[in-house]
Amino acid sequence: QRLTKALDDKEQDLRTLNMQLIATKEELSQMQYKVQNQDSNADAIRNSMQIELDKLRHWMQIYE
C-alpha cells in the first residue's frame, strides 16, 4: 500500500508538471505572436518613414 501511495504521488507530480508544461507552451506561443506582431508594426513604421523621407528628398531637390 505504501508503494501504491508513492506511485499515486508520482503520478500526481507528473500531472502537475504536464499542466505547467502546457501553460508554459501556451505562454511561449503568445509571446511569439506578440513579437511577430511587433516586427510587423516596426516594418510598417519603417516603410512609412522611408516614404516620408523620399518625399522630403524630392521636395528638397525641387527647391535646390
**Cα dist. 64→50, 57, 58, 59, 60 in Å?**
21, 10, 10, 9, 6
Q: Compute the distance between CA of residue 11 and CA of residue 27 in angstroms, rounded to an integer.
A: 24
1 against 57, higher pLDDT: 57
**pLDDT number for residue 29:** 98
Q: How confident is the model at residue 1 (pLDDT cuts 50, 70, 90)?
A: confident
What residues contact residue 20 under an 8 Å CB cut-off, 6+ apart? none
The pTM is what?
0.64
Q: Compute the distance between CA of residue 22 and CA of residue 12 in angstroms, rounded to an integer.
A: 15
Tens of pLDDT along 4-52? Answer: 999 999 999 999 999 999 999 999 999 999 999 999 999 999 999 999 9
